[in-house]
Amino acid sequence: MNILIMGPAGSGKGTMSKFIKDEYMVAHISTGDMLRENVKNETSLGLIAKGYMESGKLVPDELINEMVKERIQQDDCKNGYLMDGFPRTLVQAEAFEEMTNIINKKVDVVIDLKVNIDDLASRITGRRVCKNCGSIYHIVTSPSKVEGVCDVCGSSLVQRKDDTIEQLQVRLAEHKKNTEPVLEYYRKKGLVKEIDASKPTEEVWAQIKQAIETVS
């Protein structure tokens, strides 16, 4: 099963991605993590990307596309992949379709997480993250046992600098500008399953399972 998951900041992509990965035994691929891993391991693509990053330039689509193509052909993708954060633009979507057709890894379903702005604002401003292990909490809906301390490793919890209303507005505008055309591209192919992600976690997960299993 080859899956794309999309949604604005605070829509629950991280939580739902973990559920999908565990349930369907697919590789969860975050393009941000993939890029950092290539740079860290000094792969040939990573070294080229590092040059762009160090000069303050965006890494070109062509380079990201090549990393993605390599990544989805690795052994852990034999049962499929869950792509998180890619494609971000229509150009990337078209390139992704071309490459997946060639290597027989076409997208089966696109999960589109829908959340209204008020719920997003509440989720974003209340989110806390462990600076050591990356565990995510919320001060209201899923607080840590000890305030400000991670249940998993005992490290301090922090609020990300971009977890503010102001940054949310910026990210939503970016999402609408770039991601909506991508979703429309996949809608025309009948691949998009819209999920009401403002519901409790269990209900959102039930919707996603049903959506995936209608195409599996």
The pLDDT assigned to 21 comes to 95
pLDDT at residue 161 tops 90: no
Residue 146 has pLDDT above 90, yes or no: yes
* Set 123, 127, 128, 193: catalytic member: 127
Q: List the catalytic residue out of 160, 177, 187, 189.
A: 160
User: What does 93-116 look like in DSSP terms, one character per residue?
Assistant: HHHHHHHHHHTT----EEEEEE--
**Of the ranges 4-13, 15-24, 29-38, 169-178, the best mean pLDDT one:** 15-24
pLDDT above 90 for 212: yes
DSSP label of 6: E
* Confidence (pLDDT) at 79: 93
The reply to whether 13 belongs to the active site is yes
- Say whether 171 is catalytic: yes
How does pLDDT run across 94-105, given as a tens digit for each residue? 999 999 999 999
pTM: 0.80
Active site residue 160: yes
Structural element, H or E, at residue 90: helix 90-102
- The mean pLDDT value of the chain amounts to 91
Cis peptide before 87 (omega within 30 of 0): yes
| Active-site choice (36, 50, 88, 209) | 88
Of residues 168 and 154, the one with the higher pLDDT is: 154
Catalytic residue among 50, 171, 199, 209: 171
Across the range 117-123, mean pLDDT stands at: 84
Model confidence over 182-199: pLDDT tens digits? 999 999 999 999 999 999
Closest Cα to residue 67, out of 79, 57, 40? 40
Structure confidence at residue 216 (pLDDT): 65
pLDDT band at residue 171 under the 50/70/90 scheme: confident
pLDDT for 92 equals 92
Under DSSP, the state recorded for 156 is: B
